[in-house]
Amino acid sequence: MAELSTKQYISIRLGNDLYAIEIKYIENIIVMQNITRVPKAQSYFLGVINLRGEIIPVMSLKARLGLEKDVFTPTSRIIILKPERTAAPVGITVDEVNEVIDLSDEDIETLTYDDKEVKAAYSLGIGKYGSDLINILNVPELIGKDE
């Protein structure tokens, strides 16, 4: 029997669109800093950063979703995520971090995408928040597996 659950998300902006990440995946949000390029990495990985002595890989969320190229501004942030409690952290770059919002499952509509749409895997559905539509991101899929 499905219970009506309300979850907390952080709403972020990429370009002109809003996305949401469930709070349980988020470790940390930090300002943009120097990212050291890693040659021969996947194209959506910008490189690595030093976070208090720990080396953390950083992914461009826009690149991962196949959107336009990153242009970093003073509002750009790096969100450090952990797809699982025991997994290693990964950072993603976003244009702006907005606020914490509550969404219940009934506010979220799962859409059926064309199988060919790669992006389909990364989305858990579209949420309605006030007058806005927010794309709920599927973090484990987004981050991928520790290879």
Judged by the rule CB under 8 A, the positions of this chain that interact with another protein are 34, 36-42, 45, 47-50, 53-57, 59, 88, 90, 143-144, 146-147
User: Which CB sits closer to another protein, 18 or 49?
Assistant: 49
Least separation in angstroms between residue 79's CB and another protein is 15
Backbone dihedral angles phi then psi of residue 83, each to the nearest 5 degrees: -60, -30
Burial class of residue 13, CB neighbours in 10 A (0-12, 13-18, 19+): middle
CB of 88 to another protein, least distance (A): 5
Closest separation in Å from C-beta 146 to another protein:
4
Please give the structure tokens belonging to residue 123: 């989305």
The residue (of 62 and 134) whose beta carbon lies closer to another protein is 62
CB of 16 to another protein, least distance (A): 28
Q: Extract the tokens encoding 26.
A: 């988020």
SS3 content of the chain, % helix, strand, coil (to 5): 15, 50, 40
Residue with Cβ nearer another protein (98 or 138): 138
